[in-house]
Amino acid sequence: MNYKIYLNLKKMNRHDADAIAEYTKRLSAYCSTQIFCKPSVDVQRICGHPSEHTRYFLITPGYDTPSSEAFASMLDNLGIHGCSCICFFLGYPQPEVDIPTLSLSSMPLSTGLSGVVLCEQLYRSYRILNHQPYHK
């Protein structure tokens, strides 16, 4: 599976970048993860070209937050049904195209911290799916 994570930022702070780099390194055993800091990405344009192999999700606070097991199951089901790329958009306004919305937390988080939490949840999901302990 390939993940593309778009952050509505010019530049991440050092602590968020370090944490994301650590989770990206851990995730490399399971998948490919790319992080893009783009304050002016056109979500409408990216999502406007639907593909049966790519899914798009807008991450916003305040919606129902899936459990780690439910998130892992969702990723697994997408892979089983032929999805090979998932794009997450963090910190962007709702585009005019209808894309599913997920929440990582009921409270608002900075865009950089949301990226850290998303990478952590991806890593946790792969540990769950592979029946491996999460904590060392």
Q: Which residue has the higher pLDDT, 58 or 47?
A: 58
Write down the pLDDT at residue 135.
67
Q: Which residue has the higher pLDDT, 127 or 43?
A: 127
> Is the confidence at residue 136, as pLDDT, over 60?
no
For residues 66 and 109, the answer to whether their CB atoms sit within 8 Å is no
> Is the confidence at residue 109, as pLDDT, over 80?
yes
Q: Which residue has the higher pLDDT, 102 or 43?
A: 102
Percent of the chain scored above 90 by pLDDT? 69
| Cut 0.85: pTM above it | yes
Q: What is the mean predicted confidence (pLDDT) over 60-66?
A: 82
